A = this chain, B = another copy of it.
Amino acid sequence: MSSAPRFAFAVSASDGRARTGVIAMRRGEIRTPAFMPVGTAATVKAMKPADVRAAGADIILGNTYHLMLRPGAERIARLGGLHRFMGWEQPILTDSGGYQVMSLAARNSVGEEGVAFASHLDGSRHMLSPERSMDIQALLGSDIVMAFDQLVPTTAPLDEQAAAMERSMRWARRSREAFAGDGALFGIQQGGLDEGLRRASAEALIDIGFDGYAVGGLAVGEGQEAMLGCLDFAPGQLPEASPRYLMGVGKPDDVVAAVERGIDMFDCVLPTRSGRTGQAFTSDGPINIKNARFADESGPLDPSCGCPVCATWSRAYLHHLVRSGEILGAMLMTEHNLGFYQQLMAGLRSAIADRRLAEFAAGFRARYLG
């Protein structure tokens, strides 16, 4: 572990604004563009860590908000950190808690110091601030720590968005000063859909200096067209030499379009959550396996897929499992969906390396959206 760098991002090829490369870290390499499965409560739901890894994930995401409430950051630290606790040895990125504290917690109250809130689990009172978020992420043993930020809807008045962005930049500086981990620290660009606010945010972050930069505040209901409009300018405002991470995105076609616009990292609950409700992603678009037409189909979820689920089980079997409420249904649907996403990322990486991304993306869209 000692010979590996703390954090080094090397781009090996680019195609238009898209690029492919590797982030080298102590716990392993992250091939970019990368998709990070979400492991909210110290588990990628319905998946064993070895199967997450086998699907092709180099890194997963953990949620500060959920883990601080249950089982508690100090407890995880006493038990040897999040990697050991959940049995995942590769890198983990942890979010700052800023998003969940606004979307999930009850009775939250935001001030310059941070956010006071009540747990959605038991109503207990807690506080998150840049300093406490850095503290918790260090206790978890996070490899990539996210700065603590404040989110407002993209539909909020511009002065509210500006104020939240400016506070987020003050919090980004406090996050940087409080950060004491031996991993990497990412800043988060805010500013809604406004190009000027995004530019001001990017400049503030660059002035502070981070290992990587996230585009935050998108994928919160603004719609794909508005999001892609923002991604036409936002990634270009961030340093070329650092990874750019689009938080909370997205659908497979969102991911392809964002890679075309220069994004290197993604996380989203979609493949795992959909897997638990019967939605499977396939090369020909999503399907709901509960649909009666699948009851007798002997073929795999996706004939073009190389995942272990498609190699072994039929649509008819998955239909039966999901209809019957069997846990194995959630397990296998999730494993396929994660495999589908990771195969998409591998396809994007090799298309960029071969400078045929436009062709790859057109072929993907023709089948997936066709």
- Say if the beta carbon of A46 comes within 8 Å of chain B: yes
Stretch at the interface among A15-23, A97-105, A319-327: A319-327
Bound-complex Cα distance A75 to B314 (A): 13
| Chain A positions 9-37 with a Cβ under 8 Å from a chain B Cβ | none
The B-contacting residues of A in range 321-349, CB under 8 angstroms, are 321, 323-324, 326-328, 330-332
Give A319 Cβ to nearest chain B Cβ, in Å.
8
Supposing A80-B298, A327-B331 touch, asked if A313 and B45 sit within 8 A by C-beta, the answer is no
Is A295 a contact partner of B71 (Cβ separation < 8 A)? yes
- Complex interface: chain B residues within 8 A of A7 (CB): none
A47 within 8 A of B: yes
* Inter-chain contact A328/B296, CB cutoff 8 Å: no
Chain A stretch 42-96: residues in CB contact (< 8 A) with chain B: 42-43, 45-48, 70-71, 75, 78-80, 85-87
User: A312 on the interface (CB 8 Å rule)?
Assistant: yes
A332 to B253, CA, bound (A): 34
Which residues of B have CB within 8 Å of A332?
48
A71 CB to closest chain B CB (Å) equals: 4
Residues of B contacting A313 in the complex (Cβ-Cβ under 8 angstroms) = 86-87
Residue of B nearest to A335 (CB): B48
Partner of A317, one of B45, B86, B316, B327: B86
- Does residue A116 face the partner (Cβ distance < 8 Å to B)? no
**B87:A316 contact, CB within 8 angstroms:** no
Q: How far is the CA of A87 from the CA of B332 in the complex (A)?
A: 12
- Decide if B316 touches A70 in the complex (CB within 8 Å): no
- Contact partners of A321 in chain B: CB under 8 A: 41-43
Query: Is there contact, CB below 8 Å, between A71 and B330?
Result: no
Are A45 and B326 within 8 A (Cβ)?
yes
Task: Decide: A316 and B48 in contact? CB cutoff 8 A.
Answer: no
Give min CB distance, A320 to chain B, whole Å: 4
Contacts A78-B296, A86-B317, A276-B327 known; list 9 others, CB within 8 Å: A41-B326, A43-B328, A45-B326, A46-B327, A48-B331, A70-B323, A71-B295, A75-B316, A79-B296
Q: List 22 A-B contacts (CB under 8 A).
A: A41-B326, A43-B321, A43-B326, A45-B326, A46-B328, A48-B328, A70-B323, A71-B295, A71-B319, A75-B295, A79-B314, A79-B316, A79-B317, A80-B298, A85-B314, A85-B316, A85-B317, A85-B320, A86-B313, A86-B317, A327-B327, A327-B330
Residues of A at the B interface (CB closer than 8 Å) are 41-43, 45-48, 70-71, 75, 78-80, 85-87, 276, 295-296, 298, 312-314, 316-317, 319-321, 323-324, 326-328, 330-332
